[in-house]
């Protein structure tokens, strides 16, 4: 296992847990039952990677190969129910963990596309799908227009992270260093975007 | 063809018909046109198995291999339009047929995952996806938060059925007997859950 | 490259552009940000073909193999933002381009299923998925009940186009001629349906 994977694996588990717990809170706001909480958490956490691999025909999917991932996401979602009374105190921690998830999932997605020799544009898109589609599935299943399409720099963070990672790989720099740099810049970008409420311009069309 | 398949095939056709007809009624409540009724019925009936096979990379899908399944689901959906004036009299029959569908689809899903030597957790999940995802697609396409996440013992019935089936297969009991026992217990569990309005506890989170 | 493909390729690019631009206008009505506009446009334009190929296990997907398609759909969506102030003047042009997209995507979908020797029913369904699913994804992501299920002759146009194309291929007529005839009839049917507001009968069920 290269160093960079030894770094990415624990961070990606943190990302899965954060994604599942934030989805569980969304489920709680809609008074879903415990099964719904576990399902929504797991689909949100694992849906991005699953969509990427299904679109690329990259079988078996991660959770099929490593079913313990389902145990992690289910446990995280159910733990959220128990932790609900105190969880609002950790709001900022959640933003951090969720940002780690976004950036780490993006890098993992790029990695998988690189290994199957995809075009660079597809590598970036694979990273973005890995990082962003879980949240889209969560919002669709909760009957919301996906947050990804409406607000916040989320997809943009994913694209920038992917670009840095891909460029670095091309430049023959040590993969570990590239991973760390992409991770650092992506994370900083995301946290600054949250802190200063950076947003993309909106397209408002109200004819007809 | 083993005995258990000779039993499961007609029951699964019944399940497809029930799923398509209940979806057609949901389409009728939203005044969809006839094409929409046929599409929603077919997607609901065949969507669970299709999702399972797409996620497992198990090609070709059942309806691609056996296109008569599309004729069955389309005919069932369209027949519902004709039967609409009297269909409310058969409400309890529908609950029964829908429960048969849930349990039979679950067992079929487990079977397919067993045949491709998946981990036991994945076998259970494959069963649950087969039994439950069709209804999720129906609800998403109708712009509802999926019932599966909110109420009723549906996923739970699927998990229990899958567990019994998988345990039985492991115990070297005759496959036919295991199928019958899983079918009987799953069906009883589902019907009792409907009769006595059993529900999972809900997670209500209303902060922020 | 056979003549018919030399005809279909530019028409399918037109179809992709039209699908992405109409989706961008829908995004603008919901005040999505620029990233959302580009994503919704691309998903709508490429979602039908991607769904077809994922369900048929037909990898790699078109945009994975030819990433320039992503550039086309993204550019079309973003150009819509700039063109928004004048775009309502081209309303009829859009109906025409969108109709071309529906018919061309349908024929391409049939073609791909024919090449993999699918059953004729599956060929028709593959054409319909290619032509119609993009719009369904757009509506689901915008939190609407898909227009496809509710109104307009859209799926019907796709089915008729597919039937003509498949029958023609069987009859040993020149493929170019079959393509032109299917294209002409499908397009005429769609434009007449828009002009005279033809609709399928609706199924209205309001019991319970």
pLDDT at B2: 59
Task: State the Cα–Cα distance between residues A41 and B88, nearest whole angstrom.
Answer: 36
Q: What is the mean pLDDT of chain A?
A: 92
B32 touches chain C (CB under 8 A): yes
Calculate the dihedral angle through the C-alpha atoms of A78, A81, A87, A90, rounding to the nearest 10 degrees: 10
Task: State the Cα–Cα distance between residues C116 and C56, nearest whole angstrom.
Answer: 9
Largest CA distance in chain B: 58
CA distance B21 to C82: 46
The answer to whether the beta carbons of residues A58 and A23 sit under 8 Å apart is: no
Give which of C55, C51, C60 is closest to C134, Cα–Cα. Answer: C51
In the beta sheet, which residues pair with residue C33?
Answer: A202
Chain A residues in contact with C64 by the CB 8 A cut-off are: 55-56, 118-119, 122
Tally the residues of chain A: 208
DSSP 8-state secondary structure symbol assigned to residue C196: T
Give A58 or C6, the one with higher predicted confidence: A58
Cβ atoms within 10 Å, residue B72? 19
Query: C109-141 in b/e burial notation, b at 16+ Cβ within 10 A?
Result: bbbbbbeeebbbbbbbbbbbbbbbbbbbbbbbb
Q: Which residues of chain B does C207 touch, with a Cβ-Cβ cutoff of 8 Å?
A: 88
pLDDT in tens, B76-99: 999 999 999 998 888 888 889 889
Which chains are within 8 Å of A by 3+ CB pairs? B, C
Cβ within 8 Å, pair B145-A142? yes
Residues B53, B133: Cα–Cα separation, whole Å:
12
Going C5 to C9 to C10 to C15, the CA torsion angle's sign is positive
Predicted pLDDT at C3: 61
**pLDDT tens, per residue, chain C with 208 residues:** 556 778 888 989 999 999 999 999 999 999 999 999 999 999 999 999 999 999 999 999 999 999 999 999 999 999 999 999 998 888 888 889 889 999 999 999 999 999 999 999 999 999 999 999 999 999 999 999 998 888 778 999 999 999 999 999 888 888 889 999 999 999 999 999 999 999 899 999 987 6
Of B121, B136, B203, the CB nearest to A28: B203
* Residue in C with minimal Cα distance to B82: C203
Is the pLDDT score of B186 beyond 70? yes
Please provide the DSSP assignment of B1-13 as one string: --HHHHHHHHHHH
3-state class (DSSP) for residue B33: strand
* pTM exceeds cut of 0.90: yes
Q: Alpha-carbon dihedral of residues A187, A120, C132, C9, nearest 10 degrees? A: 160
Q: What angle do CA B123, B126, B130 make, to 5 degrees?
A: 140
Residue for token digits 């530019």? Answer: C10
Structure tokens at C111: 């073609």
Give the model's pLDDT for residue B3: 61
Closest CA to C137 of C51, C79, C74: C51
pLDDT at A3: 61
Structure confidence by residue, pLDDT tens digits, A115-144 = 999 999 999 999 999 999 999 999 999 999
Report how far residue B168's alpha carbon sits from residue B14's, in angstroms, rounded to the nearest whole number.
24
Nearest to A127 by CA among A44, A184, A186, A70: A186
The span from the CA of B189 to the CA of B153, in Å, is 9
N- to C-terminal Cα separation, chain B: 58
Report the alpha-carbon distance of residue C58 to residue B177 in Å, rounded. 38
pLDDT-derived band of residue A95, with 50, 70 and 90 as boundaries? Answer: confident
N-to-C CA span, chain A: 58
B35 at interface of C, judged by CB pairs closer than 8 A = yes
Q: Please state the rounded mean pLDDT for residues B175-191.
A: 93
Which residues from chain C sit within 8 angstroms of residue A119, using beta carbons?
64, 67
pLDDT at site C8: 86
Establish whether this prediction's ipTM goes over 0.90. Answer: yes
Q: Are A47 and A133 in contact (CB under 8 A)?
A: yes
Query: How would you class A57 by CB atoms within 10 Å of its CB: exposed for 0-12, middle for 13-18, buried for 19 or more?
Result: middle
How far apart are alpha carbons A73 and B77 in whole angstroms? Answer: 37
Q: Which chain B residue is nearest to residue C199, measuring alpha carbons?
A: B33
Locate the chain C residue with the closest alpha carbon to B24. Answer: C203
Q: Identify the pLDDT of residue A208.
A: 64
DSSP-derived secondary structure letter, C33: B
Q: What is the CA radius of gyration of chain A?
A: 17
Mutation site, B151, B205, B206, B207, interface A, largest A CB count within 10 A: B205
pLDDT for A90 equals 86
CA distances from C196 to C75, C85, C102, C132, C193 (A): 33, 28, 18, 21, 5
Enclosing H/E stretch for C189: helix C175-195
- Percentage of chain A lying above the pLDDT 70 cut: 98
What are the respective helix, strand and coil percentages of chain C, to the nearest 5?
A: 80, 0, 20
Q: What is the mean pLDDT of chain B?
A: 92
Provide the greatest CA pair distance for chain C. 57
Averaged pLDDT, A153-161: 94
Cα–Cα distance for residue pair A133/B96, rounded to 1 Å: 37
Q: Where are the alpha helices (DSSP H) in B57-154?
A: 62-65, 68-87, 91-115, 120-141, 147-150
């Amino acid at each position: 296992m290269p160093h960079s994977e030894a770094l990415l694996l624990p961070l990606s588990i943190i990302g899965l847990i954060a994604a599942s717990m934030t989805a569980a809170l969304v489920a709680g706001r809609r008074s879903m039952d415990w099964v719904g909480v576990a399902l929504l958490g797991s689909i949100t956490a694992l849906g991005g990677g699953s969509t990427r691999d299904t679109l690329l025909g990259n079988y078996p999917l991660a959770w099929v190969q490593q079913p313990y991932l389902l145990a992690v996401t289910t446990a995280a979602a159910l733990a959220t129910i128990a932790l609900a009374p105190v969880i609002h105190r950790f709001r900022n921690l959640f933003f951090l963990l969720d940002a780690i998830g976004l950036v780490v999932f993006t890098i993992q997605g790029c990695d998988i596309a690189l290994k199957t020799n995809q075009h660079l544009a597809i590598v970036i898109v694979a990273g973005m799908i890995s990082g962003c589609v879980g949240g889209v599935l969560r919002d669709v299943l909760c009957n919301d227009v996906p947050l990804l399409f409406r607000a916040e720099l989320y997809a943009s963070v994913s694209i920038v992270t992917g670009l840095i990672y891909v460029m670095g790989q091309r430049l023959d720099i040590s993969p570990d260093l590239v991973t760390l740099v992409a991770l650092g810049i992506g994370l900083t970008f995301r946290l600054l975007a949250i802190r200063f409420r950076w947003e993309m311009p909106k397209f408002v069309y109200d004819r007809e």
